[in-house]
Chains A and B, each alone.
Chain A
Amino acid sequence: MNTVNEMSLSFPSKSCNEAFARSAVSAFIMNLDPTINELSDIKTAVSEAVTNCIVHGYRRVGGTIYIKGKITDTGKVIIKIRDKGCGIEDVSKAMEPLYTTAPEEERAGLGFAVMQSFCDKVRVKSKVGSGTTVTLEKTIAPHNA
């Protein structure tokens, strides 16, 4: 499995950058010729992960969000979304559907559930005080035009 393309970007944790991040990632995977549904799945998962960085990782303080993207020769898309924020104390608890620590902001507690449902694989690495990295993987099926 060889890497055929890579990208990285960083931007401040402003909520207007949620749209920028998902658009940038969808532009990056565009030459895999994804279906509308595949594109929408990845955009949604990226939007959830970036929103988590803003709402939770950098809650109240702000900081930089880093995204790294990779495409392999098997059509696998790997997107890493990282913050250097507060980190998650209990990752498995945070991943439970409907669990949220920000109900006052009307967060539904579905972020990780959506990422898991819309991607093939989701990995979360987090350390309290130093930040969280979410890795999303999804293979874009080759299809003949």
Chain B
Amino acid sequence: MLKTEYANNILTAYIDGEIDHDSAVKIRTQVDGAAQSLKPRLLCLDFSGVSFMDSSGIGLVMGRYRQMKLIGGALRVVNIPDRMYRLFAMSGIEGLGVLR
């Protein structure tokens, strides 16, 4: 469901499959665990492997944004499939400048 990679102070999490309320809890635990121990400068969430998401995906991104701020790092969300972009647009998350 999740593969992480760490290089040059950047932690990349490749999210795979479906993001809903159920899976978001598991993804969050894994990503936060890695971020807490590595304290990266940048957390990069790669959505290219996401096949479905509901608003739990937005909660997941907003939560990681806050977590990264707490440890003095930044967040970036990359490779959002077109079909899911509408959810991000609705959330106002675009204004945070984390989407690529």
At the interface with chain A, which of B8-16, B34-42, B54-62, B68-76? B54-62
Which single residue of chain B is at the shortest CB-CB distance from A113? B90
A119 an interface residue at 8 Å Cβ cutoff? no
Contacting pair A18 B58 (CB below 8 A): no
User: Judging by beta carbons under 8 Å apart, are A19 and B83 in contact?
Assistant: no
User: Is B20 in contact with A51, judged by CB distance below 8 angstroms?
Assistant: yes
Q: Chain A nearest CB: distance from B59 CB in Å?
A: 4
Q: At the interface, is chain B mostly helix, strand, loop or mixed? A: helix
Kindly provide the distance from the CB of B2 to the nearest chain A CB, expressed in whole angstroms.
16
A47 in contact with B20 (CB, 8 Å): yes
The verdict on B33 contacting chain A, using a C-beta distance below 8 Å, is: no
Taking a contact as CB atoms closer than 8 A, the residue among A19, A36, A105, A110 that contacts B20 in the complex is A19
| Contact residues on B (Cβ < 8 Å of other chain), bracket | 20 to 34
Instruction: Identify which of residues 1-56 in chain A touch chain B, using a CB-to-CB cut-off of 8 Å.
Output: 15-16, 18-19, 22, 36-37, 40, 43-44, 47-48, 51, 54-55
> Is residue A107 contacting chain B, with contact meaning CB distance below 8 A?
yes
CB neighbors of B among A66-123 (8 A): 97-98, 105-108, 110-111, 113-114, 117
Q: How distant is the Cα of A16 from the Cα of B18 in the complex, in angstroms?
A: 12
Question: Using Cβ atoms and an 8 Å threshold, which residues of chain A touch B21?
Answer: 15, 18, 51, 54-55, 105
Closest to B89 in A: A117
**Docked CA distance A106–B91 (Å):** 13
- In the complex, the chain B residue whose C-beta lies closest to that of A114 is B55
Contact with A along B77-89 (1 / 0, CB 8 A): 0000001001100
Whether the pair A48, B59 counts as a contact (CB closer than 8 A) is: no
CA distance A37 to B87 in the complex (A): 13
B63 touches A51 (CB 8 A): no
Chain B positions within 8 Å of A, measured between CB atoms, are 18, 20-22, 24-25, 28, 52-56, 58-60, 62-63, 83, 86-87, 90-92
List 19 contacting pairs A-B, 8 Å CB cutoff, sorted by A.
Answer: A15-B22, A15-B25, A18-B20, A18-B22, A19-B22, A44-B87, A47-B20, A48-B55, A51-B54, A98-B92, A106-B59, A106-B63, A107-B59, A108-B62, A108-B91, A110-B55, A110-B87, A113-B90, A114-B55
